[in-house]
Amino acid sequence: MQQPHAAPTPVPSIVMPDAFVSAMNGFERYQRLERARSEHTLRAYRSDLENLLRECASRQVTTVEGIDLTLLRLWMGGLQELGLSRSTLARRSATARTFFGWARREGLVAIDPASRLRSPVPDQKLPHVLQRQQVDRLLQVRTVAQVDGASGQPSVEQKAVRDRDHALLELLYATGIRVGELVTLDLESVDHDRRTLRVLGKGDKERTVPFGQPALNALDDWLRRGRGVLAVAGSGSALFLGVRGGRLGQRQVREIVSKALEELGDTAARGPHALRHTAATHLLDGGADLRAVQEYLGHSSLATTQRYTHVSVERLRESYQRAHPRA
């Protein structure tokens, strides 16, 4: 294997060898059809693999069998020099191990070079969680900043967008669902009488998630007053719609939530996942059973859910420091 031992410099424009394209497509088919990975996971796998294989191609390596542990370590070292976070580095090394484990089973390599590739320990930062008073302020029916130029009042479409944004904020906090789960909801996903959602989570696992009366009220307002304004012939059964009538996308939801959180002015929390963190933490603060919260969030492992207990303990410690006379 011919390669200099200098830090790698990724070359995005380099042509991908046919052997790499074939292996990458085969790995993706396996993950989609046999492992039932979500489109989000598949995109992450493909992005990580393209980064690795283009780096290998830039070093004149054109077959999967030609990749060795030294090259993998150089690739990881170069990524570290680029300043990627430890969690991103950990994900990319995990992708490499998963890919080469598959390649070994498929006979593309005789020896798995990634079996000894060490993974950085991801940063264990506690997520930002909103206080209950902040949640109350966030979920107040918000006025529309822009108004119709002629009347000086919000337009019908702007009112519909306001109802939509209020409903999705209420639902994200009420259920703790992921943004990817929110945007796949259909009208029939909602049981209004039982106040539950039928959610399709990671690995195509379906679960039922309860929500409260405030979220139901906001949903009813959106469905009664707003959805019909934005709906078009091709809207189908999507629960949440964009301004052009199509199904609302993940990027749009992230922008909506981040803007709403930014307008609070007193929190570093950003994005829909902050509401998921907040919902889980508030459940545990209120005495909810850990396994119930695991089912509520759709976690496959209880260890993932246990992370939120650390958040709750930290919040308890902060309250103690502020309030106890001998803190």
Q: Which of 73, 198, 202, 225 is catalytic?
A: 202
**Whether 195 is catalytic:** no
pLDDT band of residue 191 (cuts 50, 70, 90) is very high
- Encode pLDDT of 157-181 as tens digits: 889 999 999 999 999 998 888 888 9
- Encode pLDDT of 227-283 as tens digits: 999 999 989 999 999 999 999 999 999 999 999 888 888 877 788 888 888 888 888
Mean pLDDT check: name the lowest of 118-132, 153-167, 289-303: 118-132
Using an 8 Å Cβ cutoff, are 245 and 231 in contact?
A: yes
- Encode pLDDT of 137-157 as tens digits: 888 855 444 444 455 577 888
Amino acid identity for residue 157 in this structure: E
Q: Does domain 18-116 have CATH number 1.10.150.130?
A: yes
**Whether 299 is catalytic:** yes
Per-range mean pLDDT, top range of 150-154, 225-229, 298-302, 316-320: 225-229
Using an 8 Å Cβ cutoff, are 246 and 239 in contact?
A: no
pLDDT band of residue 298 (cuts 50, 70, 90) is confident
**CATH superfamily of the 132-323 domain:** Intergrase catalytic core (1.10.443.10)
Query: Residue 144: what pLDDT?
Result: 42
Give the residue ranges of DSSP H helices in 6-118. Answer: 18-33, 39-58, 69-81, 86-105
Environment class of residue 134 by beta-carbon count within 10 Å: exposed (0-12), middle (13-18) or buried (19+)? middle
> Can you tell me the distance from the alpha carbon of 171 to that of 194, in angstroms, rounded to the nearest whole number?
15
Q: Which of 54, 276, 277, 282 is catalytic?
A: 276
Q: Which of 166, 178, 227, 247 is catalytic?
A: 178
**Whether 276 is catalytic:** yes
| 8-state DSSP, 242 | -
**Whether 178 is catalytic:** yes
Q: Which of 142, 273, 307, 315 is catalytic?
A: 273
**Whether 273 is catalytic:** yes
Amino acid identity for residue 135 in this structure: V
Domain ranges of the chain: 18-116, 132-323
